[in-house]
Structure 1
């Protein structure tokens, strides 16, 4: 059974709708879910917020949070997840913001991805260092990690 199918089945059993706020994955989480027939019963909507302006305008991420912590931070991931819930009819949200590469810096290396999971008032965040394994591999790893976070939360 695929990871995405498992998420859909668990969400359907819990009668929960899902949303995602994605930056570095550019919609890959929603694509994985909506590739499966019947996904419309639990996939509510998705947000691709690649720019800081999109994060602010679509999800309500505070400019002060972006200025203080940068887009690739658990603080921004938390606000993205909360904002996705607030801007949708979903009960569960996942957010992803990271540096897929190439590039990065000493303080924020390539392969660093921050995740948020929001359900009601609860938001959990996590940072994963996937390493400089190449843009495509980091994005796939981030997508799969986000799907696992959703599955585990369900």
Structure 2
């Protein structure tokens, strides 16, 4: 167990620290759009001392219509495919980046359970990052309890951000 009372948060906290460090080194900022993680990603990021230097804020777009009305996700896309879709994740990341004026936008959407949603199985998750070099979406393979899936989505999102920042840094 760690200081947070659970075993899984050590990796997420470490990844959040690394993300802030990487962003600070580049003078970059981050904004987050969350669905299935319901604020857990933002909470993990702000748990790091000094987070205000790089973290602009977050939008928890749990309701499908908020994804469209606040983040600018295409209504037609949502109507046809529902909120759990790779392009929805990408548009969420791009939307929050634009909305909060950040260098990078990071997004999560998926099904944490306990029941499938809109024909998508529990554990179906998409994470996306949008930055100066474009957008990238990943679909981690997650299973287990609702908490495990949500925690895994946070870890996957932070890993995707770290990978993207590193790639963009090397392309300069």
Q: Taking structure 1 as reference, are residues 85 and 140 closer, same or farther at Cα in structure 2, changes over 3 Å only?
A: same
Higher RCO (C-alpha under 8 Å, 6+ residues apart): 1
Q: Is the CA contact (8 Å cut-off) linking 2:111 and 2:117 kept in structure 1? A: no
The structure that is strand-richer by fraction is: 1
In the alignment, the residues of structure 1 paired with residue 107 and residue 81 of structure 2 have an alpha-carbon distance, to the nearest angstrom, of 16
> Structure 2 matches for 1:3-152, cutoff 5 A?
3-104=15-116, 107-120=119-132, 122-131=134-143, 133-152=144-163
State the TM-score, normalized to the length of structure 2: 0.84
Between Structure 1 and Structure 2, how many residues are aligned? 153
Deviations 1:84-112 (A, max 9, x none): 11101101011100000001169411011
CA contact (8 A) 1:16 1:90 kept: yes
Larger radius of gyration: 2
What is the alpha-carbon distance in structure 1 between the residues aligned to residue 134 and residue 15 of structure 2? 24
CA separation in 2, counterparts of 1:62 and 1:134?
A: 30
Runs of 4+ in structure 1 displaced over 3 angstroms? none
What SS does the corresponding residue of 1:144 show, helix, strand or coil?
Answer: helix
RMSD: 1.5
1:80-137, Cα deviation, whole Å (9 max, x unpaired) = 1111111011010111000000011694110110111101361111222312x01000
5+ residue gaps in structure 1?
none
